[in-house]
Chain A
Amino acid sequence: MAGLNKIILVGTVANDAETHFAVEGTARANFKLGVRTFASGAVSLMNVDIVVWGKLAESCAKLLKAGRMVLVEGALRIRSFEDQSGSRKWATEVSASSLQLLDQKATAAPQSAAVAAQEEEVPDLPEGDLPF
């Protein structure tokens, strides 16, 4: 039985998306998505690695600049690997199947994923107030 693995995150792009092309020409884009969470009154920021493949990855390079607010939909992947010292490490990433820009910027290309009519309401917190 195929299971269900779906994750939906809204956050701000922490770094400009980097797009790479594999030998076969498949594009892959990586970026970090900063997601703020509110737990017991405290605000915490979580950086989630997002990986995008194919056509979608190509448009990431043009559109996903640091600071943009985006909705990411995809699958949660947790994998282990060995680092240089040979110790086992865990990596968490979201393999995105669709992206939607939530802020409206003049620079957004017309073929960008549908821009949501309503902007996500985000409390304006000065970075210095974050409890970490």
Chain B
Amino acid sequence: MYNKVFLIGNLTRDPEVRYTPAGIPVARFTVAVNRIKKDEVDFIPVVAWRRLAEICGEFLKKGRPVAIEGRLQIRTYKNKAGMEATSTEVVADGMQMLGSKPASAPAAGTKAETKEEDIPF
């Protein structure tokens, strides 16, 4: 069913890039989205896979403005204490850097086709 999320905000810190046991890159970061009302901010965790994850890891930096397109994913899992917990994140399909361009940034936004696989975490 239709599930689309669009975000524009700033990175709270540098993306963290990891690799699954199968060698697939995964980037995680949080985007701070200002509301129209002053001093209210929503913090939205974002996850990117594969090529997009590598691009995010290379070019996105703390504080930079970014536009994210993706879908909402809510998962339930057992935490360390054995209790049910939920995690919410936006799985990114596309990313566009905003703001002025640092010297080494790529020319345009990047749209990568990412298919998620079943990965054990």
A and B: real partners? yes
Residues of A in contact with B (beta carbons under 8 Å apart): 1-11, 35-37, 39-40, 42, 46-48, 71, 75-78, 90, 92, 120, 122
The 5 closest A-B pairs by CB, nearest first: A4-B8, A10-B2, A3-B33, A92-B88, A3-B9
Residues of B in contact with A (beta carbons under 8 Å apart): 1-10, 32-36, 42-45, 65, 67, 71-74, 86, 88, 90, 115-118
Chain A residue with minimal CB distance to B9? Answer: A3
Please judge, given known A-B contacts A5-B42, A8-B2, whether A39 and B86 are in contact too, CB under 8 Å. no
Q: A5-B8, A78-B42 known; 6 other A-B pairs, CB under 8 Å?
A: A4-B7, A5-B7, A5-B42, A71-B2, A76-B5, A92-B88
Neighbouring B residues of A9 by C-beta, 8 Å: 1-4, 72
Chain A residue with minimal CB distance to B1? Answer: A10
By the criterion CB–CB under 8 Å, are B3 and A10 in contact?
A: yes
Cα separation A39 to B10 with both chains bound (whole Å): 28
Cα separation A5 to B34 with both chains bound (whole Å): 8
By the criterion CB–CB under 8 Å, are A39 and B116 in contact?
A: yes
Neighbouring B residues of A8 by C-beta, 8 Å: 2-5
Cα separation A39 to B1 with both chains bound (whole Å): 12
Cα separation A48 to B115 with both chains bound (whole Å): 22
Neighbouring A residues of B73 by C-beta, 8 Å: 37, 46
Cα separation A5 to B35 with both chains bound (whole Å): 8
Neighbouring B residues of A36 by C-beta, 8 Å: 1
By the criterion CB–CB under 8 Å, are A7 and B4 in contact?
A: yes
Cα separation A8 to B74 with both chains bound (whole Å): 15
Neighbouring B residues of A3 by C-beta, 8 Å: 7-10, 32-35
By the criterion CB–CB under 8 Å, are A6 and B5 in contact?
A: yes
Neighbouring B residues of A92 by C-beta, 8 Å: 74, 86, 88
